[in-house]
Amino acid sequence: MAYQRDFIGYGRNPPDFTWPGGKRLALSIVVNYEEGGEHSYPIDGIVESIGEFGPVDIKTRDVGMESVYEYAQRVAIWRFLDLFKREGIKVTFFAVAKALESNPAAARAIIDDGHEICDHGYRWTELYRMTYEQEREEIKKSVDLIEKITGKKPVGFYAREPSENTLDILQEFKNFIYDSDAYNDDLPYYYKKTGILIIPYTPDANDFHYLYPMHRFSNSNDFYTYLRDTFDVLYNESIKTPKLMNVGLHLRISGRPGRFVAVERFIRYAKEHDVWIATREEIARFWIKNFKY
């Protein structure tokens, strides 16, 4: 069968509805919880290449890069959790299983505060490099470890580097109701082959672009402005057609004080508007209840 792509989507006929509470715009804030599961030469033979600075130029431990990542677990996670509690919002953590395992107290705090854990893989492993069977086993490891740590199987999945088999494999696991390995729409939709719900994510409203080698955001004002502009466009469009906005955050990036202010400002800006701030599980369950495959 030929490889299929969908360039049509909803087109000029998107579904007309309101999110819970009569809202027209939904906002999904995602915190990527990855530190402790990143590439490390002694573990997986790869020197992690993305960070505050360039990687070491030989195949060895990059102690400096490791230290940058450790900041996320030691400091930033608590800064974020305190903010979400102050603002009274729930978010989704794209959590690498081995990162969760590295800080049990933080993992428990995320659950106790009512946030969602979405499966972000066992470690940073490119699934497209694997056979079907290897990938299925890799996903099983992440599901099992997340359940062991949190007491609940994850209902969402985000691979970071999926393969053409990922969506098919997810259907073999009865716990998954959505996947987020897509960047192609402003609304959820069903994967035509199996019917799993796709909640698209964002490659642009994402603090990832602070880092080497991208350096597209140079300071908190850059990031805040981009988030605010994205919100304004979608909010205005939602008057006619409901929309979903995604924000991508990382502990080791926006958890730094000089960047954290952008997150604070944006959350307070969004709350000044009539918007539904929800976890991806909440969004998925709403969609599945109201729109059938």
Could you write out the DSSP letters of every residue in 133-179? Answer: HHHHHHHHHHHHHHHHHHSS--SEE--SS--TTHHHHHTTSTT--EE
The pTM of this model reads: 0.95
**Residue span of the structural domain in which 201 resides:** 20-290
Closest among 18, 3, 6 to 192, alpha carbons compared = 6
Q: Is the pLDDT of residue 66 over 90?
A: no
Number of domains in the chain: 1
In a domain, 5, yes or no: no
Q: Which residues contact 249 (CB under 8 A, 6 or more apart)?
A: 29, 30, 31, 32, 80, 206, 207, 263
In a domain, 1, yes or no: no
Q: Is the pLDDT of residue 50 over 80?
A: no
In a domain, 58, yes or no: yes
Q: How confident is the model at residue 3 (pLDDT cuts 50, 70, 90)?
A: low
* Tokens found for residue 191: 């994967």
pLDDT confidence of residue 139: 98
Distance CA 43, CA 261 (A): 34
Q: How confident is the model at residue 1 (pLDDT cuts 50, 70, 90)?
A: very low
Q: How confident is the model at residue 46 (pLDDT cuts 50, 70, 90)?
A: confident
In a domain, 27, yes or no: yes
* Tokens found for residue 219: 């300071």
Distance CA 127, CA 134 (A): 9
Asked whether 167 and 191 are in contact (CB, 8 A), the reply is: yes
The pLDDT tens digits for 154-166 are: 999 999 899 999 9
The pLDDT tens digits for 202-232 are: 999 999 999 988 889 999 999 999 999 999 9
The pLDDT tens digits for 226-271 are: 999 999 999 999 999 999 999 999 999 999 999 999 999 999 999 9
In a domain, 3, yes or no: no
CATH number, residue 43:
3.20.20.370
In a domain, 89, yes or no: yes
In a domain, 8, yes or no: no
Percent above pLDDT 70 for the chain: 99
User: With 0-12 CB in 10 A as exposed, 13-18 as middle and 19+ as buried, what is 268?
Assistant: exposed
* Tokens found for residue 234: 């979608």
Q: Quick check: helix, strand or coil at residue 276?
A: strand
Cα–Cα distances (Å) from 136 to 169, 191, 235, in that order, read 6, 19, 39
Closest among 132, 131, 83, 73 to 106, alpha carbons compared = 73
Distance CA 37, CA 248 (A): 18
